[in-house]
Amino acid sequence: MDPALSRAMARVADGLAAMGAGDPGPYASCWADSPDVTLFGAWGPVEKGHHAVTRTVEWVGSRFSDGRLVPRYDVVDVSGDLAYTVGVERGTVRVDGGEPQEMTLRVTHVYRRVEGDWWLVHRHADVPPADPRR
C-alpha cells in the first residue's frame, strides 16, 4: 500500500478515536480543503463543501464523550489519485451525555491524493439495518 495512504488512514483512525471521546478536531483535519468534499452522515446530514462538512463533523463530535470509534476495513483500493475504504466503525460511546452504548456504523470513505498527500473527500455512513434474511 502507498505509505502516504497508510499515514492518511492512520490519521483518520486517530481522528475517529478522538471523535468518540468528544474531540472532533483531529477527524475534521483529515478533510481536503475543497468545495467538492461531501458527507452523507449516519445521523442524517448531507453536506457539500469543506466548511459545511467540517462544521457538521464538529457538531457530531460534540455529541460524543467517554468513548472511542475504531475502524475495520474490509476493502481498501486505489486507482490513480483516488482511493476508497469500505468497512465498519465500532466502539462504545456516550451520546448527548447518556449511558455508554455500543455503536456500529457501516462506512465508505473516499480519499483524493493532493500533492502527494491523501485527504478525505467523501464519507457515507449509516447504521446497519437488520438482515431480513434472518
Residue 134 scores a pLDDT above 90: no
Contacts of 105 (CB under 8 A, 6+ apart): 42, 69, 88, 89, 90, 125, 126, 127, 128
Q: Provide the CATH number for the domain around residue 28.
A: 3.10.450.50
pLDDT band at residue 55 under the 50/70/90 scheme: very high
The pLDDT value recorded for residue 60 is: 93
- In this structure, is residue 131 part of a structural domain? no
pLDDT band at residue 106 under the 50/70/90 scheme: very high
The pLDDT value recorded for residue 124 is: 97
- Residue by residue, DSSP assigns 64-80 as EES---EEEEEEEEEET
Q: Measured at the alpha carbon of residue 61, what is the angle toward residues 18 and 116, in degrees to the nearest 5?
A: 60
Whole-number percent of the chain with pLDDT over 90:
90
pLDDT tens, 77-96?
A: 999 999 999 999 999 999 99
- pTM score: 0.92
Residue 44 scores a pLDDT above 90: no
- In this structure, is residue 132 part of a structural domain? no
Tallying the residues shown for the chain, one arrives at 134
**Which comes out higher in pLDDT, residue 124 or 129?**
124
Residue 131 scores a pLDDT above 90: no
Amino acid letter, residue 98: G
Q: Which residue, among 46, 52, 54, has the nearest Cα to 26 in the 3D structure?
A: 54
- In this structure, is residue 32 part of a structural domain? yes
Neighbours of 118 (CB within 10 A): 24
Residue 22 scores a pLDDT above 90: yes
Q: Which residue, among 25, 26, 48, has the nearest Cα to 37 in the 3D structure?
A: 48
- In this structure, is residue 53 part of a structural domain? yes
Residue 86 burial by Cβ neighbours in a 10 Å radius (0-12, 13-18, 19+): middle
- In this structure, is residue 23 part of a structural domain? yes
Q: Where would I find the H helices in the chain?
A: 3-20, 25-28, 50-63
Q: Residue 113 sits in which domain range?
A: 3-126
Mean pLDDT score of the chain, rounded to an integer? Answer: 95
Domain count for the chain: 1
Strand 46-48 and strand 70-79: the pairing is unpaired
**Cα radius of gyration (the chain):** 14
